Structure 1
Amino acid sequence: MTWDVAQAEWAGGGPGYALVRLSGHARGAGPFAPPTLLVPDGARWARLAPEPGTPPVRGWFTVDFALPLHLAIDDAAEWWLEPGPRLATDDVPTDPRVEAIAARVADLADEIAALRARLEEPTPVGVGADAPVPVPRRHRFRPRRPGLPALLFAAGALAVGDAAATVLWQEPVSAFWTARQQDALEGDLQRLDTAYASPAAAQSIAPKTASASPTTPEQRMRTLARTLDASAKAGRPIGELRIPHLDNHYVIVAGTGAGSLRKGPGHYDGTALPGEPGTVGIAGHRTTYGAPFRHLDALDRGDPITVTMPYGTFTYKVEGTRIVKPSDVSTLKAAGRQRLALTACHPLYSAKQRIVVLARLVSATPRGAAAAGGAAQARPA
């Protein structure tokens, strides 16, 4: 089989990686498993698997790869697609949309071939140069389909519209997908609140806590934060982020991998959770997948930021903004006080730098099992 790549483009990214989208046509008797991407990494080749959930390939394909930034910025590197194994046809259902597109492409190929034959065919002997030449036509009663110019114009208009929406607002297709994910995460977060709403529930969640029960709200919040930190799985909800100055709020998920950040802002593994000593690190996109941190650079000193967890509500105030290299993780390290670090790619449409907003903790109000007497408190609307 042969992979004919027609286009390679950046499709977003996050801290430490860029999402590369390859489109083209796979020639051969498919279907095939999605290809892997071979990228030179020093003296060796790095083999990158496609993003999870990529369907088998039949003809035309679009495949996404999460490419580490140190590989993505090497303009001189040559990339190769490694063919995947052929799959059993019965295992892959036929997609009627793909068949419809293939039929349209075949019709267009017939029309182009007929026009080319008309241009190249010599003028018949005894017939004027303007004499008509027969062109094959479909059945006269079959509905007519748009010609190649109309299709190209429509495709161009869609591309321009998508680009304009991305520049003025955010990438619309991924924004719609993330909004659906956030709606589902809201329900999961409510169930997590319920699980942390009483001392008995908290004890059942964390059976390995010390025998001496924490006596102060701060101690109880710290204990429950450690419990949540140890049990949270990538892509699952852990809390809610509200930034009043930007008029937005998002469910926070665990992890900063590509799959997690597609759902919303993600908590850096290895950094503290609110209520624990140290720095709480949260990353988010600026142009794709809901663009939760698109206007992060608009925050001013003193602006409040609220993080609501199942065990407490934590209010921070912005101290300042920094622009750092992607490899600089100093802002995520402990600083002798509890603080929050929001990070995103910088500038817009680029992953060359990182913008970091730092905020200090000014108040912490216990919720659920961490509150005095274990009384549950409602999550803010």
Structure 2
Amino acid sequence: MSGPGVVARWRRPVGDERGMALLFALVLVVSLAAAALALERRILVNYRAVRAEAEAVRLRQLARSGIELGIALLADDFRRGAVDHLGEAWARAEEASGVLASEGRRCTVEIVDLSGRIQVNALVTSPEAKKRDRPLAGLRARYDPRQAQLLFRLLTGSRFQLDHRRARRMVAALIDWIDSDQTVCEFEGQKGAEAGAYQERDRQRRPANRPLAALSELVLVRGFDERLVFGDPQTGRLGLADLLTVAVAQGRARGRININTAPAAVLEALSPAIDARLAQELVRYRQANPQALADWRWPSRLRPTLALDQRLIATSGAVFRIRATARLQQQWRRISCVLHRPSFQVTDWREE
């Protein structure tokens, strides 16, 4: 069965070979096209990433410029006078931040007078603070009773309306969280909480025994919860985080409240004689009479019998938070810091 005739019958036709070559070429072209498309996509992704990174750097620099603008506004205000209120240029920093707009980028600057809030870390007195503060000299208490009463009145005031007994326990627990010893604090008959009280539920949990680093830390303190601390963002209901600050003013401004910028709830906490209605009247008065706010006794013009503790009150800001947010469409960068006056020391620098 061998021979030339047999071999000829099994030879592949020329047309089939050309078809296979064409198919191979087509597969090769498709593969090369797919590889080229993948490479193009990778180059495009890398280009966009590099462009986004470059834009992030520009936005960060713009936000830093916003911080510098805020510092300049506060420095100019400090040179002009010693009274701070919400009608001044620094309180309207967002209006001045328009000068920072460039090529579609914009930067908004917000300045908040933290002296208008209760300085929660001033609750516990350091040895240095006791030496500076004559009214506390000789006291053996580990906390400042005036600051404790201030926080107590805030918790029991119209904003939070907590039971007095619960509020006293919370104040004592917060003192124990901040102070450095292991002795349980007692505030007006109610005891706080040291390590043993926390470890009944969580063996790993115990008081920090240091000043609060952030207001979010309050939720770890016995008696406090997220709703109390953060309020309700959906309804705009304020929480403790809107009325307290972890920043502590330097020198004689330690623990003092700027009554010219304090929210109504903080004004109400300044004295048992100030109720929610009077606090709102005080807010309206200072809006209408900014020229009358230099004298710390201006609230007595609305209520002549009102007696305030001068050691709790200031009419100027000593601690400010500056926040600058730079945006370009959906991309943004934010920088915030705390500025102390009159030293103009910058602390708590944060970038997002």
The two structures have a TM-score, normalised by structure 1, of 0.25
| Larger RCO, structures 1/2 (Cα 8 Å, 6+ apart) | 2
Larger radius of gyration: 2
More strand by share: 1
- Whichever structure has more helix as a proportion of its residues is 2
